[in-house]
Chains A and B, each alone.
Chain A
Amino acid sequence: MNWALTLWRLASFAVAAGLIALWQLIANLKLVSPVFLPGPDRAWAALMRGFSNGTLLDKTIGTLEHMFYGWLVASVVGIALGAMIGSSRAMRSYVAPSLEFLRPLPVSAIIPVAIALFGLTQGMALFVIAFGAIWPMLLATVHGFGAVEPRLYEVARSLHMSRLAVIFKIALPSASPDIISGMRLSLTVSLILAVVCEILAGLDGLGHWVLLSARAFRSADLFAGVILLGVIGYVTALAMSMIEQRLLRWRTSGH
């Protein structure tokens, strides 16, 4: 079984390597002007140069910070709000209509509002990222709370568990698969919005780097930034699914 998996891995690496080779070929043949398209060799050199003088590392950390803080705020607020709404029918009927209005609102439309309120600041980015990333988690939490096995509530009643204990010991863990998949979706949204905010507000980060490189026709630097953004997306998603597997061990374990 394992060698089949290894073979699949090898094949996927081969495809990636093939694409890079194709890219190199196109660059070498100058099918696209080198001003706009650097080869992988030049992009790699730009990447190395950026890291050796520290600028790219700073930008990467900047983007990671924007993304992570926004995601964290969205997680805390989204799960808390979702738990409140999901565990009370009254809250559901009071709050649901407002949420239904806010949810389909494009985040891009919120950005000018946020700029007007907060200026071109880190606070603005935090607000926009958190606002955009909150929805998957909020909705997943509400759904997860609604889907708790009713029998478990009877067990809780017969044990005289407090309301808080019911939320933390029964409802939250029961909803955790939903919540975690919501958190994974939100992570992607956070990265997208971090880049958008950096571009629009000139905040220090890879988004800003990419924009400046493009304007200055430094195509190798531009590609280095894009590659780094791809790596961030890939690595964070990988980390998230590892955390998910660890936390949800009880679900996959079976005979």
Chain B
Amino acid sequence: MTSIALRKDIPSAELEKSQIAFSHVTLDLGGKTIIENVSLDVKPGEFLCIIGASGCGKTTALRLAAGLYQPTSGHVSFDGEPMRAPRRDVAIVFQDYGKALLPWRTAAGNVALALETIGMPKAQRPARIDELLKKVGLPNHAAKYPAEMSGGMQQRLQIARCLAQEPKALLMDEPFGALDAMTRQGLQDEVLSLLDASKATVIFVTHDLEEAIYLGDRVVGLLPHPGRIGIDLPINLPRPRDQLTTRENPEFLRLRRELFDFIKASEA
């Protein structure tokens, strides 16, 4: 918690380009418009949080970014290329970690799944698995099955598998939504320090406003029915962030107020 360094030191030329770009994206599903005319640029290394009332299409927006859905009109691109299918360098952390892990493989085996598919030679895998499990704080649990692990541990394991893909971008769908408050705060800090090391771009969907402000460089709020962008706030809180001082910062409180009012107005 103490050693979260500043995570941005990306060349300024890189910042001109966007890594994930939505341009006039509309998505209809089952005759209903879920997302309407969303344009959004996410810079390399940026930590973008998406918030919004339930049913506003947060998860759908994330699935569009992942290539799991294709827009009805408009387009989504990654590094300037159209996103037609999921990419290996874009990892998805699902909310329901229990369903996204292979229950018949141990923690090490679940991480190995990603290493096998990226074609890492067998001899190199054990060292890499150890390194990844250590990174997410599961160094002594390699031989455990998911059913033997707590929710927080399972989510860490899913994150380890995603990091094994060596992603340029990490898409996280309410990853800590099902965890208790203490576990959640611990994981927030761990994610910040992990991403500090990997410099991956992040889109992080959450319904927890404080979590969004605490983690993000920028928070985008969606309006419901159909989902569209209602607010786009830069978060200029100093890094490294700290669970106590950051959350007591007057700017944090001001942003929380602004987002709270936004959600309230959007639900009215």
A interface residues with partner B (beta carbon < 8 Å): 149, 151-152, 154-155, 157-161, 165, 169-170, 173-174, 176, 249-251, 253-255
Q: Which residues of B contact A155 (CB under 8 A)?
A: 92, 94, 100
- What is the distance, in angstroms, from A147's C-beta to the closest C-beta of chain B? 13
A40–B108 Cα distance when bound, in Å, is 55
**Is A176 within 8 A of B104, CB to CB?**
yes
**Is A159 within 8 A of B114, CB to CB?**
yes
> From residue 101 to 142 of chain B, which have CB atoms closer than 8 A to chain A?
102-105, 113-114, 116-118
- What is the distance, in angstroms, from B54's C-beta to the closest C-beta of chain A? 20
- What is the distance, in angstroms, from A192's C-beta to the closest C-beta of chain B? 32
CB contact between B88 and one of A158, A169, A176 (< 8 Å): that residue: A158
A155–B158 Cα distance when bound, in Å, is 10
Q: Mark B44-79, 1 if CB is under 8 A from A, else 0.
A: 000000000000000000000010100000000000
> From residue 143 to 163 of chain B, which have CB atoms closer than 8 A to chain A?
145, 147-148
A selection of 22 A-B contacts at a CB cut-off of 8 Å is: A154-B68, A154-B94, A155-B92, A157-B68, A157-B86, A158-B68, A158-B87, A158-B88, A158-B91, A158-B92, A159-B165, A160-B87, A165-B116, A165-B117, A169-B102, A169-B116, A173-B105, A250-B103, A250-B147, A251-B103, A251-B104, A253-B148
Q: Which residues of B contact A249 (CB under 8 A)?
A: 145
- What is the distance, in angstroms, from A75's C-beta to the closest C-beta of chain B? 19
- What is the distance, in angstroms, from A245's C-beta to the closest C-beta of chain B? 14
Say yes or no for B263: interface residue by CB 8 A criterion: no
**Is B117 within 8 A of A255, CB to CB?**
no
| Residues A160 and B103 in contact in the complex (CB < 8 Å), given A253-B147, A253-B148, A254-B148 | no
CB-CB nearest in chain B for A149: B99
Q: Which residues of A contact B94 (CB under 8 A)?
A: 151, 154-155
Q: Which residues of A contact B96 (CB under 8 A)?
A: 151
**Is A160 within 8 A of B148, CB to CB?**
no
Q: Which of A157, A170, A249 has the most CB of B within 10 A?
A: A157
Say yes or no for B85: interface residue by CB 8 A criterion: yes
Q: Which residues of A contact B88 (CB under 8 A)?
A: 158-160
**Is B148 within 8 A of A169, CB to CB?**
no
- What is the distance, in angstroms, from B147's C-beta to the closest C-beta of chain A? 5
- What is the distance, in angstroms, from A219's C-beta to the closest C-beta of chain B? 50
Q: Which residues of A contact B223 (CB under 8 A)?
A: none
**Is B91 within 8 A of A152, CB to CB?**
no
A169–B105 Cα distance when bound, in Å, is 10
| Residues A250 and B145 in contact in the complex (CB < 8 Å), given A154-B68, A161-B117, A173-B104 | yes
Q: Which residues of B contact A169 (CB under 8 A)?
A: 102, 113, 116
Q: Which residues of A contact B147 (CB under 8 A)?
A: 250-251, 253-254
